Amino acid sequence: MRDVRCDKCGKPAVTTFRTYRISLCEACYPRFYEALVRRSIKRHCILRENERVLIAVSGGKDSVALAHVLKKINDFNWSLEMLHINLGTGEYSDRAEKVVKELSEMIEMPLLTVNLADFGFTIKDARMRKRCAACGTAKRYIMNRTARMHGFDVVVTGHTSDDIAAFALKNIVGGNISWILKFKPRAESFAESVVTKARPLFERTEEENRLYVSAENLPLLEDRCPFAPHRDDWKDIVREIERRKTGFTQNFVRGIAKLASEASSEETIGERGVCGVCSVCGEVSSSDVCAFCKLRARIVRDAGGKMWRRMMP
Ligand SMILES: [Zn+2]
Ligand SMILES: [Zn+2]
Q: Is 180 within 8 Å of 172 (Cβ atoms)?
A: yes
pLDDT for 272: 53
CA angle 215, 221, 225 (to 5 degrees): 140
Distance 19 CA to ligand 1 centre (A): 18
Distances (CA, A) of 173 to 169, 244, 268: 6, 20, 21
| Res. 179: pLDDT tops 70 | yes
pLDDT at 270: 43
Per-residue b or e along 112-130, where b marks 16 or more CB atoms closer than 10 Å to that residue's CB: bebbbbebbbbbbbbeeee
pLDDT at res. 132: 78
Span from the CA of 271 to the centroid of ligand 2 (angstroms)? 20
DSSP-assigned beta bridge partners for residue 186: 198
- Under the banding of pLDDT at 50, 70 and 90, the label for residue 229 is confident
pLDDT tens figures, 105-116: 999 999 999 999
Tell me how far the alpha carbon of residue 300 lies from the centroid of ligand 2, in angstroms.
Answer: 14
Ligand nearest to the CA of 142: 2
* Nearest ligand to the CA atom of 293: 2
Which ligand minimizes its atom distance to the CA of 31? 1
- CA 274 to ligand 1 center in whole angstroms: 53
Q: Which CATH architecture has domain 29-272?
A: 3-Layer(aba) Sandwich (3.40)
- pLDDT, tens digit, for every residue of 299-311? 888 776 555 554 4
Whole-angstrom Cα distance, residue 87 to residue 76? 32
Residue pair 13/23 in contact (Cβ under 8 Å)? The answer is yes
Return phi, psi of residue 54, to 5°.
-100, 120
Span from the CA of 158 to the centroid of ligand 2 (angstroms): 25
* 3-state SS, residue 121: coil
* pLDDT tops 90 at residue 147: yes
pLDDT, tens digit, 9 for 90 and up, residues 249-289: 999 999 999 888 887 555 544 445 557 899 999 998 888 99
Ligand that comes closest to the CA of residue 23: 1
Q: What percent of the chain has pLDDT over 70?
A: 91
Per residue in 40-92, pLDDT (tens digit) is 999 999 999 999 999 999 999 999 999 999 999 998 999 999 999 998 888 88
**Per-residue model confidence (pLDDT) at position 273:** 54
Whole-angstrom distance, CA of residue 32 vs CA of residue 41: 15
C-alpha distances in Å from residue 24, one per residue of 27, 40, 66, 133, 206: 8, 20, 20, 38, 17
In this structure, of 10-19, 66-75, 145-154, 298-307, the range with the lowest mean pLDDT score is: 298-307
Percent of the chain at pLDDT exceeding 90: 63
| C-alpha distance from residue 77 to each of 52, 72, 106, 274 (Å) | 9, 11, 20, 36
CA of 32, nearest ligand number: 1
Residue 52, pLDDT score: 98
**Ligand 2 centroid to 15 CA: how many Å?**
47
